[in-house]
Structure 1
């Protein structure tokens, strides 16, 4: 407890220090007490200027907010309610530069002009009329057409008339300047990608260039501003502090030089996000809630820093509380876990801050909402993987793992070994039965059941061999049995000897070690023990490169995940190398056929009845790997589908509690989420991002925010760290095999997701046997859809990257996410393609590696490169432990009863 509290205190201090270190403050010249002019659009946060008209009450309320800080306002239209602005502004002693909206709609244009002329004649506070706003830039009108409109308005009013255009339009068309009474120039350095700290000098430099080009002409900087949020544009970055610095410096220097200007804009306009992109809503001096974004004098500080920091610290603390429950946690282990919790706390605070301080159009709301929901399981998976890293790399020795030969029991309970077989090659099954016959255990029987296999060529040799092996071996042939493998095992139970206390289950392809029962049956000396599980392993890993990869991928589950789950008495029971107490099986209801993973289902049912399960990493049996990548995929598809059936069957009782301990429930729920949820969510996010690519590239809409993309990249890097570090610490296969295992694991992402999707649709499927012990079948390319998705994601990443003309950081992140998301699909394609090439041959691959190293070292090859040497796959006998175990079963029982720290 003390070490955890110390870690909590240390991480909290570092976390707070990082927040203070990252805190932004700035100094800038004070802005004038009142701005010369502000662009004014009186629309509420949830209103769209394209669809609704301005309301008198909104105009009046907004003028109350901005009148104390400006002498004048500029509008952009004279209709749709904005005709109310001049008289209401007069009440606040505000002058108005009246806008006339000009586009391709001639009927509206006429209505706008007529309204503006009338307003100017009736309101003495209208100091100027701006005919059109960047109309030439938008190509809605030609220069000559605009000149004609300006002349028309000038002929109908004595108020000064101009048009609003960006600065280079005036320089490119001096005839336009001759037609106006003054130049209304838009200088917006952000849109030109000018860095914020150079923007004021840049704008004033443009102003001087215009003065030189048009001597004697009055020039108004009719639009200058800076967005307080949104994406960068080349070197131009956004932010409230940046906005404050730019506007304060500009207005201070403009006042000193007597420059007439208008700031864009008074109040944020969320509706502009649909037409001006990510930064459109954020140009206001006031936010949409009518609060000033920055102080006009004195130090500039972030408005939301303190709430954000407090939320991050609080969330980090709350997420760290489960660490207090870890028994015997080391300081470094606690430090890693608490650090990860605080990292997630900081991300959560940033997400909340983003939701509360940004405006979202409908599409952005949907994207943020869906993205936020989908990231929750991803973040849980990240924390789970970090937890495993901390436990294995920095935690204490495991308490429940059977790591030594157990003391022999006084009695020798009878074991009934059940070997179900369905269309299995006879020679393979005979090897399995021979290994059972050679068991160094005096009291066992073996029930062999061949089910739904009418071809005599499959079962007759087995029947004959069982007779040769003697009376211990019982042969059953059930040509028509329902319930898949579970149905066969139920029949085997009916033919089990009455005095058999332990049931052993092995697959038809498994060769068992002679000391399997001798070493593990004594664990049942503790009457609470219902299950003892040994890991799977394989004797054909040296058949090909693909088999080496598959073998290492399996090993990760049995040497990493199962060991950690065992500490919570929450292992996944699998029907290979499994021993179960008969009374525990009866207590749990026996084999059930309502899932196709009957072994895991029964194991969980036994645990729910309060029995204990123990696990050993020692290999006591070696089976065969799937023949090819397609078989590998189909096997994982079956496991995933069966897993989803088990989730459905048991989730309700888990959530309600009572049957399992809190640690067991958490382990199972998080384990299911980690295995099936993460892969499924990963595919869903990848497909959604793929759909989003053309919208980003061609639709000119906002890309996913950094708060949505960074966790995906973080999850990928945590996955790599988790995989490589834990394989090095636990699996200890060669680097070649470890990298191959990573590829094999990634290659199954779509397979797992598809199984989950199919379960949603149909909930049931037939049991499909995994072909083993033969050659790869010649069939069509098994990773076709993975190749399509991977290729599209890779192409999307390239397209997004190379069309990011303004070097937007979030777009680069999005491109990186697409690249990362393509890797599992490309891995599947690579592995599927590998088995069709000579590179799948281990000897050939070793020679290739040997030659590459020889070329690098400029000498003849002398030996196989270490990274390409396949692991030995000979079937070894378990290594005895030299030092006696103090009290094997008793120690395990004592550990079970030890109180939590």
Structure 2
């Protein structure tokens, strides 16, 4: 144990050291001055106006006055009107803005408010009429191009305004419209290859001319410089705009132009020089420059806290060196700007709590880095503590588990960091919370699988497993119990006669002197199914009892209760086998001695199948079954927590009676009884030695129905027994509680969770594709990918270590295991809304016919939708190239695999390649074609008659 503790401490120390090693530090020029201007919007989260709350604005401006000399506003209403007088209290200048769009009434209010602010506040240094109005394609309504009314006009002034406006609408408005129409007509007659660009330019030029008239109207009313705010290329492409304004207010935002953070400053300086050369003598203001601290990449543009700090510090250093006039966007993060994509809320130099996001001097570091690291290390250490409860873990086992636990700790810390550095509107908060709730069981499932990998690959070998080589000697059971009587029960329902005869014949050959066999056929009125079995039991002798029971209630459990009533009074052990099982002679001889220990209530042997060579589908199905019996059952046996599966099972009669016998309130009566026996404190044992072989389900439909019955019955058992898992409610040990709980979560929960997450992701696809809202990769998508990788490694590693099958069969077994995800999830969903479904017999022995219906219809629908969703994401992400969207598309492809696995098996079942003869013949033909095998030519018996080989081939 000291070695294990040392490993845990070593891994924890290594984890902490990695956080120290990967702590990011960057250098940038120090800035100790005051910024010339910052964009400011007096809104609370949710784009809620402060409604004249002067104290909130005063607190903001008091804080900002230590950072900047001036602020830029984008509106003159909605609380913005109180900013200039408050800014004056702190000696700050203000550039007011008038928001311009297609709403004429709002535009009028904005323009009048901006004029009033400029006239009444001496600290207003300019007016910016409109913000990217031309870029957004907003056409100013024509009524806004006329004369502006005076604020609080006298009756004479109001009358004069009405007359001027009427003249404008009568004379000027039609002329403006004719000029615009002429530009559009000129564009329409351009050559076809130039027409599209010409139309775009004409529309923009029309909007520019309208905006110019608005700017000129404002200029006539104030004594401060007036301009508009536009992206730099709008100024370049429409020089009339610069010629009609007092200065150029250009927006240069390298992020939106796909420049990297390393290129951002050079790009801004280059655009500044371009505008200065284009408009000599004109004041050039870079009215917006910034970089987002969070969000999603846009091609090569990568947002981030470090990127924002380095870009801004480098920019202000270069700008000051060349005398550039600039405004940084923006002062404070605006969470309500989620409509601008993932980066919208994160352009501020202060966060929404008015805290600095980075330092302007010294090395650039994450101020909360060590808090995040501490969370990661503590969570990793906490999740490593259960390792100390393991029974004699090896050093490598402890190392693997502790490394995985610390990996989860790092993920939790990433979640913590994301949650504390991002803003959420209700919808995104709900989506993220739901995603995390679903990921918690996913992480637990992954950890359980990693634990099993570590136990099998690095742990000590099985110690409770009953081996064939060392059975307990009958003599050790006492003089009177050398060969306790065993009553073998075989329930049957419409089973093939010859198959059941084989089962009875195998029982008759058991190398055990003291047993009886009770064969009960229930609810099978057709005498062709039961009379031959009755006769056969008579032939086999008095040990064999036959019961034909009609109108039996309770399905298989009801039949087994009747068999118990006909069981010999001196039978101490009850053996259960299915009607298709051919047992080996040494089954009882090897396993009954385990009951010499009076604490043992049950011994379970694995299932095996003798018809795995019927087809390729049966071959991979057989491999899929083997994994459960050679991996899961062996590991659970170490904790006395095996799952009883109803055939090849031996049960002490006293334990069965104490448990209340067979119950019909679940359709998995065997597992239910086994769990009840364990809850009463009995020991159970398992052997992985095959003591008999049964038959596989006839069809893929039968395979899915069987899995549905197991899953539905398993969920019934969860609902029935969950209270007994509470402390003190039963004699289950903590290890047994853990094994059953994780087992149910790993099987029922993993499959159901996979389907739920896939469907939720499908619903999310259009939001990601068309609303510019991506998925945070480190939190929601990467864990799904990691869990898939863990599941893949779990399957391959444990199969290679424990299951004696070939690689091809193992691959097929993986496909078969994935193919029932939808089936299991449906069973769990039905278990949530129903109490009882009828027991569905698994068709075996060749009696069932293949259904004409395609057996993976819904799986095909969901699988194809997931692939289509991935394609849509990739197609719509072509311009943006957001990394998280590509990762999300990859997740959808991974999630489609279980559904497509079902489709592939359903197609396989109905194809020629399902037959082994096809592969054998194909191999022979290939060998003959490449000369590895001589072609055997038939000898012709007579020219007029076909030879025998040709007749066989044609027939």
Task: Give the alignment's TM-score, normalised by structure 1.
Answer: 0.94
Query: For 2:219, which of 135, 140, 154 is the aligned residue?
Result: 154
CA contact (8 A) 2:50 2:56 kept: no
CA contact (8 A) 2:42 2:79 kept: no
> What does residue 125 of structure 1 align with?
123
Query: For 1:746, which of 798, 808, 818 is the aligned residue?
Result: 818
User: Which residues in structure 2 correspond to 1:252-651 (within 5 Å)?
Assistant: 252-273=317-338, 275-403=339-467, 404-410=469-475, 411-651=482-722
> What does residue 311 of structure 2 align with?
246
Shift of 1:53: 4.1
Asked if residue 719 in structure 1 is aligned to residue 718 in structure 2, the reply is: no
Shift of 1:859: 5.6
Q: 698-707 vs 619-628, which deviates more?
A: 698-707
> What SS does structure 2 have at the residue aligned with 1:26?
coil
CA contact (8 A) 1:450 1:459 kept: yes
Shift of 1:449: 0.7
Asked if residue 80 in structure 1 is aligned to residue 78 in structure 2, the reply is: yes
> What SS does structure 2 have at the residue aligned with 1:423?
coil
> What does residue 300 of structure 2 align with?
235
> What SS does structure 2 have at the residue aligned with 1:73?
strand
Change (3 A) 1:139 1:32: farther
Q: 837-846 vs 646-655, which deviates more?
A: 837-846
> What does residue 41 of structure 1 align with?
41
CA contact (8 A) 1:32 1:251 kept: no
> What does residue 731 of structure 1 align with?
803
Change (3 A) 1:318 1:853: farther
- The count of aligned residue pairs is 858
> What does residue 20 of structure 1 align with?
20
Q: Give distance in 1, aligned partners of 2:41 and 2:923.
A: 69
Shift of 1:33: 2.0
Shift of 1:725: 1.0
Q: Give distance in 2, aligned partners of 1:355 and 1:454.
A: 66
> What SS does structure 2 have at the residue aligned with 1:231?
coil
CA contact (8 A) 2:342 2:772 kept: no
Shift of 1:87: 0.4
Change (3 A) 1:173 1:850: farther
Shift of 1:21: 2.3
Query: For 1:663, which of 735, 745, 748 is the aligned residue?
Result: 735
Query: For 1:819, which of 878, 893, 903 is the aligned residue?
Result: 893
Q: Give distance in 1, aligned partners of 2:797 and 2:275.
A: 63
Q: Give distance in 2, aligned partners of 1:384 and 1:633.
A: 25
> What SS does structure 1 have at the residue aligned with 2:572?
strand
> What does residue 703 of structure 1 align with?
775
Q: Give distance in 2, aligned partners of 1:648 and 1:852.
A: 56
Q: Give distance in 2, aligned partners of 1:326 and 1:854.
A: 58
Shift of 1:801: 1.7
CA contact (8 A) 1:42 1:54 kept: no
> What does residue 194 of structure 2 align with?
none
User: Which residues in structure 2 correspond to 1:181-192 (within 5 Å)?
Assistant: 181-192=246-257
Q: Write out per-residue CA displacement over residues 642-699 of structure 1, whole angstroms, 9 at most, x where no aligned residue.
A: 0000000111220334421111001000100000001101100000111111121122
> What SS does structure 1 have at the residue aligned with 2:474?
coil
Asked if residue 654 in structure 1 is aligned to residue 725 in structure 2, the reply is: yes
CA contact (8 A) 2:774 2:884 kept: no
Q: Give distance in 2, aligned partners of 1:52 and 1:93.
A: 22
CA contact (8 A) 1:161 1:182 kept: yes
CA contact (8 A) 2:46 2:425 kept: no
CA contact (8 A) 1:530 1:613 kept: yes
Q: Write out per-residue CA displacement over residues 833-868 of structure 1, whole angstroms, 9 at most, x where no aligned residue.
A: 01111110123134446777999xx663699xxxxx
Q: Give distance in 2, aligned partners of 1:48 and 1:189.
A: 25
User: Which residues in structure 2 correspond to 1:106-145 (within 5 Å)?
Assistant: 106-141=104-139, 142-145=207-210
Q: Give distance in 1, aligned partners of 2:928 and 2:855.
A: 35
Shift of 1:803: 2.2
> What does residue 180 of structure 1 align with?
245
Q: Write out per-residue CA displacement over residues 533-591 of structure 1, whole angstroms, 9 at most, x where no aligned residue.
A: 00001000000000011100000000000011001100000111000000001111111
> What does residue 61 of structure 1 align with?
59
Q: Write out per-residue CA displacement over residues 237-258 of structure 1, whole angstroms, 9 at most, x where no aligned residue.
A: 1111111000011011111111
Long gaps (5+) in structure 1: 864-901
> What does residue 162 of structure 2 align with?
none
> What does residue 840 of structure 1 align with?
914
Shift of 1:384: 0.8
> What does residue 97 of structure 1 align with?
95
CA contact (8 A) 2:42 2:50 kept: no
CA contact (8 A) 1:418 1:504 kept: yes
What value does the CA root-mean-square deviation take over the aligned residues?
1.5
Task: Give the alignment's TM-score, normalised by structure 2.
Answer: 0.88
Q: Give distance in 2, aligned partners of 1:861 and 1:598.
A: 55
Shift of 1:184: 0.7
User: Which residues in structure 2 correspond to 1:161-240 (within 5 Å)?
Assistant: 161-240=226-305
Q: Give distance in 1, aligned partners of 2:758 and 2:52.
A: 42
Shift of 1:783: 0.1
> What does residue 680 of structure 1 align with?
752
Shift of 1:64: 1.6
Q: Give distance in 2, aligned partners of 1:640 and 1:35.
A: 66
> What SS does structure 2 have at the residue aligned with 1:442?
coil
CA contact (8 A) 1:43 1:54 kept: no
The structure that has the greater radius of gyration is 2
Structure with the larger RCO, 1 or 2 (CA within 8 Å, 6+ apart):
1
CA contact (8 A) 1:32 1:255 kept: no
Asked if residue 829 in structure 1 is aligned to residue 877 in structure 2, the reply is: no
Q: Give distance in 2, aligned partners of 1:672 and 1:406.
A: 32
Q: 640-649 vs 772-781, which deviates more?
A: 772-781
Q: Write out per-residue CA displacement over residues 347-393 of structure 1, whole angstroms, 9 at most, x where no aligned residue.
A: 01111221121101122111101100000111011001111111111
Shift of 1:4: 1.2
Q: Give distance in 2, aligned partners of 1:779 and 1:209.
A: 72
> What SS does structure 2 have at the residue aligned with 1:580?
strand
Q: Give distance in 2, aligned partners of 1:413 and 1:207.
A: 98
Q: Give distance in 2, aligned partners of 1:52 and 1:835.
A: 68
Q: Give distance in 1, aligned partners of 2:221 and 2:907.
A: 77
Q: 379-388 vs 5-14, which deviates more?
A: 5-14
> What does residue 777 of structure 1 align with?
850
Q: Give distance in 2, aligned partners of 1:111 and 1:862.
A: 95
> What SS does structure 2 have at the residue aligned with 1:381?
helix
Q: Give distance in 1, aligned partners of 2:789 and 2:52.
A: 50
CA contact (8 A) 2:39 2:328 kept: yes
Q: Give distance in 2, aligned partners of 1:28 and 1:843.
A: 72
